[in-house]
Each structure stands twice: as C-alpha cells, then as structure tokens.
Amino acid sequence: MKSFLSKFILLLPLIFSTSVYSEMYKWVDEEGNTNYSDKQPFKNASKHIAPDINTTPAIKAPKPQAIEENTKEAVYQFFKITSPEHKATIRDNQGNFSISLAIQPPLNTAQGHYISVLLDNKLAQDKLTGLSAQLSNIDRGTHQITASIKNKQGKTLLSTKNITIYMHRRSVLNPPLLQTPNQAAPL
C-alpha cells in the first residue's frame, strides 16, 4: 500500500501537467508598429501562429589530441660557451668573470630545462635559465669550464666542450714594484 501511494504521489504532477502553450496575438497599432502579445489587447487582434523554431544539430567537436611538443624533449642542435674563449687569460684581482653561452633552439624552460655550469668538474652555477653566468673569487691558475643543459629530472641533454682558462690574480706575496722618480726601471 505504501509503495502504491508513494508511486501515485510521484506521478500526480505528471497527470495534472498541461502543455505550456499559449496563444499569440498580432496587431498593428495606430502608428504602424507591429506588436505581439500572449493576451488579446482588443478585438481586432488576430491570432498569430509562431513559425517553427529553426534548429541545427550540434557539431561534434574533434577529440583534443595531445600536443606532441609538450611530450617530446626538445632536441638541441647547438650549445657552446662563447665567452671566454678557449685558452683565454683572464686578469682580475678579485677572480671574477662572466660566461656567455649560445644555444639553438632556445632553452625550453616550459619543460623545466635549465643550465648547469661546472668549474674544474665541480658545480659552480645551477638551475640557470639565462645564457650567462657570473663566477666570482676564482683562484689563480688553470681552470676547466663546461656547461650542460638538463631536464627537470636532472638528466643531461647536451654539454658544451670543455674550455680552458687561465686566471691571473695579483699575489700578496709578490707586491707590485713601486718606482720612485730617482730610480731607473729594472731592465
């Protein structure tokens, strides 16, 4: 009995529902304007049958395809240290110098690629996204420099050739020779 009553209550709105259709009236007023209404404003208004609504079936959109650019690792064709040159002598008493790099195609930072710079096989700069690095307080002597492009997992994608530089710094053990006006320069 409860089951029948609950079904009847659920079906009750369907039994008493009527179509939501109303009549439409069309008339022209004294100024020549055409008007429409769902209520008959006066006796001269004529019933208007609305035309069928034009419908167009929905266009099925193609399924989005995964963009292969984002899934493929970028293939770098050229990566080089452009400055300093191989076997360059750098004279700086603080031991500072800049490294400039060239890369083709550009570094793909959208995929998390970055550059690491090694000095004498030790990490000097890491996670660079630009094409230059500043090294400071480098000891006197001969040094090897290399740079690597790495992906976000730290895997090396491409490395430059090693270059050798010679860092010259004034030593506190060998102060500069001071000349007095009466002394002749040593030969």
Compute the average pLDDT of residues 156-161. Answer: 93
The three-state secondary structure class of 77 is coil
Q: What is the pLDDT of residues 67-117, one digit of tens each?
A: 554 556 678 989 999 999 999 999 998 999 999 999 999 999 999 999 999
Alpha-carbon distance of 155 to 130, in angstroms, equals: 18
DSSP three-state, residue 81: strand
What would you measure as the largest C-alpha separation in the chain, in angstroms? 130
Q: Let me know the angle formed at the C-alpha of 132 by 141 and 148, rounded to the nearest 5 degrees.
A: 80
CB of 124 closer than 8 Å to CB of 144: no
Which domains occur in the chain, in start order?
A: 21-48 (no CATH), 75-168 (2.60.40.10)
Average pLDDT, the chain: 81
